[in-house]
Amino acid sequence: MPGRILGIHHITAIAAGAKKNHEFYTRVLGLRLVKKTVNFDDPTTYHFYYGNETGGPGTILTFFPWEGIRRGRAGTGQVTAVSFSVPGGSMGFWLDRFRGHNVTYNNPSSRFGEEALVFLDPDGLKLELVSDAGDERKAWDADEVPPEFGIRGFHSAALTLEGYEATAKLLTDVFGYEKTEEHVNRFRFVNPNSPNANIIDLVCLPSGQRGSVAAGTVHHIAFRTANEGDQLRMRERLISLGYNVTPQLDRHYFKSVYFREPGGVLFEIATDTPGFTVDESPAELGRGLMLPDWLEFRRDEIESVLPPID
Ligand code: ZN
């Protein structure tokens, strides 16, 4: 039995400032900061993980906020839209909220029978709220966003590609997705192994400009496996198909392998285990600056250079 993919695990994007990023995602969008740590490859930069109440896989948008970094350009070879699931009937609440906070948005429109509200984060990253009455995940009870309107986690992600067939084949033949719908140049794939965060849209733009990764763009998308066994079986499968896959890396909250899919998007496969409660209790998620053991001896130095966010 090859390792199974269970939908989206997390999505990682770039921001140009920690304070503005933290304020937008926790206050305006009402997500929970479930982990505050540093970029393990550059410990003078934060790594923020935002999610729902439990920080479950399929709810986690993460950021590397590099102070003052230039804006990137969304384009082919990237995840170009990150969609969150919100309860049915909540769009009026969100429209009022976006007007009150000067958020750039488009009027809601219908896509594959669902209502979608497209908006931008402070760095220009394209986000969407999609109304999904069937999503039973619990939103975080944020100060200004009551759980009955709150974000439940990911609905889907859209990848923009020059050509889509090779990526589609990876999703269906290896990851177990099924093509369900298409409209013009948008092709929808659904993962039957998970009830949510299980949709990938491929948007085919043959003459589109190549994306450039910097502030306001997505760095990579991670797909879930239940455990390391499934992950390593999936890794072997990908290698046998000619993909160039990294060795397994320890990200403290999950184990990761990375490879580039045929359309140029950086894919990661991440384990559900051990999860974000490995170093903080569920009630305390996101409170402290969490450092891995091998950076703990540099805590004073690291804390002195990280910008304050509260
Ligand atoms: Zn990742």
Q: Give me ligand 1 centre to Cα 12, in Å.
A: 6
Ligand 1 centre from 113 Cα, in Å? 31
**CATH class, range 8-305:** alpha beta
In the reported structure, the alpha carbon of residue 269 is separated from the centroid of ligand 1 by a whole-number distance in angstroms of 8
Q: What does the alpha-carbon distance between residue 210 and residue 197 come to, in Å, rounded to a whole number?
A: 26
Q: Is residue 161 within 8 Å of 98, Cβ to Cβ?
A: no
How many Cα atoms are found within 13 Å in the side-chain-facing hemisphere of 263?
A: 31
CB of 282 closer than 8 Å to CB of 276: no
Q: How far apart are alpha carbons 106 and 117 in whole angstroms? A: 7
- Ligand 1 centroid distance, CA of 92 (Å): 33
Q: Are strands 266-274 and 218-225 parallel, antiparallel or unpaired?
A: parallel
Centre of ligand 1 to C-alpha 157, Å, is 14
Rg, C-alpha atoms of the chain: 18
Distance CA 16, CA 123 (A): 7
Q: Report CA(223)–ligand 1 centroid distance (Å).
A: 9
Q: How far is the CA of 249 from the centre of ligand 1 (A)?
A: 10
The rounded Å distance from CA 27 to ligand 1 centre is: 23
Cα 103 to ligand 1 centroid, rounded to whole Å: 27
Q: How far is the CA of 220 from the centre of ligand 1 (A)?
A: 6
Query: Cα-flanking dihedrals φ and ψ of residue 17, to 5°?
Result: -165, 135
Both tokens of 150, joined, read 């709150």
Alpha-carbon distance of 8 to 298, in angstroms, equals 33
Distance CA 193, CA 137 (A): 16
221 CA → ligand 1 middle, Å: 7
Closest C-alpha to 84, from 57, 48, 60, 55: 60
Mean pLDDT by 10 residues, the chain (310 residues): 86 97 98 96 94 93 96 98 96 97 96 96 98 92 93 98 97 98 97 96 96 97 97 97 96 96 98 94 95 94 93
Check residue 70 and give its pLDDT: 97
Å from CA of 35 to ligand 1 middle? 13
Cα 31 to middle of ligand 1, angstroms: 18
Residue 270 Cα to ligand 1 middle (Å): 7
| Ligand 1 centroid distance, CA of 292 (Å) | 16
Q: What is the pLDDT of residue 54?
A: 83
Distance between Cα 96 and ligand 1 center (Å): 33
Tell me the CA–centroid distance for residue 93 and ligand 1, in Å.
Answer: 31
Which residue from 23, 21, 74, 44 is spatially nearest to 219, judged by alpha carbons?
74
Pairing of strands 178-183, 218-225: unpaired
Beta carbons of 14 and 211 less than 8 angstroms apart? no
Q: What pLDDT, on the 0 to 100 scale, is given for residue 161? A: 98
Per-residue pLDDT at 2: 62
Distance 284 CA to ligand 1 centre (A): 22
Distance 256 CA to ligand 1 centre (A): 7
Return the pLDDT at 295: 93
Per-residue confidence (pLDDT) for residue 53, from 0 to 100: 87
Compute the distance from residue 169 Cα to the ligand 1 centre, in Å: 22
The pLDDT score that the predictor gives to residue 3 is 74
What is the distance in A from the centroid of ligand 1 to the CA of 199? 18
Give a three-class secondary structure readout of the chain.
CCCCCCCEEEEEEEECCHHHHHHHHHHHCCCEEEEEEEECCEEEEEEEEEECCCCCCCCEEEEEECCCCCECECCECEEEEEEEEECCCCHHHHHHHHHHCCCCECCCEEECCEEEEEEECCCCCEEEEEECCCCCCCCCCCCCCCCCCCCCEEEEEEEEECCCHHHHHHHHHHCCCEEEEEECCEEEEECCCCCCCCEEEEEECCCCCECECCECCEEEEEEEECCHHHHHHHHHHHHHCCCCCCCCEECCCEEEEEEECCCCCEEEEEEEEECHHHCCCHHHCCCCECCCHHHHCCHHHHHHHCCCCC
